[in-house]
Amino acid sequence: MHNEQRDFNEQLPSAGTPSTGELDLEARQALRRVTGVASTELADVTDAEYRRLRLEQVVLVGVWTEGSAEDAENSLAELAALAETAGSVVVDGLIQRRSKPDAGTFIGSGKVREVKDVVEALGADTVICDGELSPGQLIALEKIINVKVVDRTALILDIFAQHAKSAEGKAQVELAQLQYLLPRLRGWGDAMSRQAGGRAGSNGGVGLRGPGETKLETDRRRIRNKVAKLRRELAKLTVTRETKRDSRTRNRVPAVAIAGYTNAGKSSLLNQLTGAGILVQDALFATLDTSTRRSRTAEGREFTISDTVGFVRHLPHQLIEAFRSTLEEVAESDLVVHVIDGANPDPVGQADAVREVLAEVGAEEVPELLVVNKLDAVEPDQLLQLRSDWPDAVFVSARTGEGIDKLRAAIEQALPQPDVSLTVCIPYVRGDLVSRIRVRGEVLTTDHRGDGTVMTVRVDAGLAGELRPFVHENA
């Protein structure tokens, strides 16, 4: 027990070190450093501090509780893609059919022995379970199988940690990791009883945090402090983001958000639409930071279009929570372009998963434009099926560019339309207003006169308000 605790403690900054930005970085890296997990000896792996998962040869284990065999296989195939994205080699995958996961060991105890045999035969060093397991289940499995056991949630958190780039993204991921970690710090049993002795006894005085306190309690307290600090940092970043968004709202530039399942081709589409040059990868969660580009409709009206983090089935709730401010941007956009990978075996299931997350962040009211992507790679039968499932969807290939013009037109159509018609006389010194009208609205007629330009225009309500002083009385 002592050894296990010591390991974890070494990975946190010591309490007395001055708090600087540098330390934060150090703390973050320290938390993820791999210490003592090179071997798969149980002694090294049973304390469940959040380690950077060093997954090499992995065996996947799933429980098939509902749906068809195909659904279960798709789910495991997705887990395999996640594991590969995290940098591991999948050596085997096993699914057990059960009415529900076993409370103690996730899969049935008989099956655990089989997994152990497979792990030994293949020389695997990690087992990844397709679900979110309780700390107890993870411990029980590790005890029997004798290698590291992690769950889907930890795997996704790890990929996010590897891919986070911006300060905000990193802070969001770290917050999610720590919240995942908190209930998983081990050693409850005897730690708590020692603790109780300390508290209730002579040690409960001034130095409450004295020698009677267990390592575990210290670790927990440090993590809680860190969580509070991250929350404060993120709150500040959220304010900045909101200020930006407010100024955009004031200017009433319509906002389009590209959302969808991970690897659906969201970044590829944004690149096609705007030449944005965003990283495209055949990897899950390649994009974690939203990037926004400006674009114009055929008539020259301006709008913004943003790429967002992809979704996945059973997206860890810690991540949804941590990425809430990012995801809320989707909720506040004027249009969600929901990109679907038409070549995936289960596009409908993926679309449902995306809509679930959208609803959870309050984006279900935003008009949705369905886009089926990867048209170049969809099998003819599946294409027929998709066209009948989603008759209103736009079918495109971000790779070949097919359908992109149609998509652009559909986006323009779905944007809020300028719907206030006015005749205005703009003095020649207010060229700025004329260009704003061109950017945000439509100019129907123009007539240059002595006192200025007389125009009949169609604009949004906000701009109409600004133009009120220039409304031409005897038009």
Ligand X SMILES: Nc1nc2c(ncn2[C@@H]2O[C@H](COP(=O)(O)OP(=O)(O)OP(=O)(O)O)[C@@H](O)[C@H]2O)c(=O)[nH]1
Choices 30-38, 278-286, 354-362, 430-438; region in contact with Mg ion by CB under 5 A: 278-286
Contact call for residues 237 and 167 (beta carbons, < 8 A): yes
Which of 296, 303, 293, 304 is CA-nearest to residue 271?
A: 293
Nearer to Mg ion, 40 or 306 (CB): 306
Rule CB under 6 A: say whether 264 interacts with ligand X: yes
Contact call for residues 308 and 332 (beta carbons, < 8 A): no
Among 376, 415, 430, 438, indicate the residue that binds ligand X (CB under 6 A).
Answer: 376
Distance CA(2)–CA(347), nearest Å, equals 49
Sign of dihedral through CA atoms 90, 96, 99, 104? Answer: negative
Rule CB under 5 A: say whether 286 interacts with Mg ion: yes
| 266-274 vs 404-414: helix crossing angle, rounded to 10 | 90
263 is in an annotated binding site: yes
Rule CB under 6 A: say whether 166 interacts with ligand X: no
Which spans in 312-456 are helix H? 317-322, 324-331, 347-360, 380-389, 404-414, 431-440
420: which strand partners?
Answer: 459
Distance CA(428)–CA(434), nearest Å, equals 9
Rule CB under 5 A: say whether 326 interacts with Mg ion: no
Task: Give 401: exposed, middle or buried? Use CB within 10 Å, 0-12, 13-18, 19+.
Answer: exposed
| # residues contacting Mg ion (CB under 5 A) | 4
309 is in an annotated binding site: yes
259 is in an annotated binding site: no
Distance CA(326)–CA(308), nearest Å, equals 8
Contact call for residues 74 and 67 (beta carbons, < 8 A): no
Rule CB under 5 A: say whether 290 interacts with Mg ion: no
Nearer to Mg ion, 259 or 286 (CB): 286
397 is in an annotated binding site: yes
Minimum distance between the CB of residue 76 and ligand X, rounded to whole angstroms? 20
Distances from the Cα of 359 to the Cαs of 85, 131, 242, 327, 457, in angstroms?
Answer: 27, 22, 21, 11, 37
Which of 410, 394, 333, 327 is CA-nearest to residue 366?
A: 333
Nearer to ligand X, 72 or 270 (CB): 270
| # residues contacting ligand X (CB under 6 A) | 24
Rule CB under 6 A: say whether 265 interacts with ligand X: yes
Distance CA(456)–CA(306), nearest Å, equals 32
Rule CB under 6 A: say whether 353 interacts with ligand X: no
Rule CB under 6 A: say whether 397 interacts with ligand X: yes
Contact partner at residue 285 from ligand X, Mg ion, none, CB < 5 to 8 Å by partner kind: ligand X
Among 267, 272, 308, 350, indicate the residue that binds Mg ion (CB under 5 A).
Answer: 267
Contact partner at residue 264 from ligand X, Mg ion, none, CB < 5 to 8 Å by partner kind: ligand X
Rule CB under 5 A: say whether 272 interacts with Mg ion: no
Query: Which segments are annotated as binding site?
Result: 260-267, 285-289, 307-310, 373-376, 397-399
Residues that bind Mg ion (CB under 5 A): 266-267, 286-287
Query: Which segments are annotated as binding site for Mg(2+)?
Result: 267, 287
Residues that bind ligand X (CB under 6 A): 260, 262-268, 280-287, 310, 373-374, 376-377, 397-399
Query: Which segments are annotated as binding site for GTP?
Result: 260-267, 285-289, 307-310, 373-376, 397-399
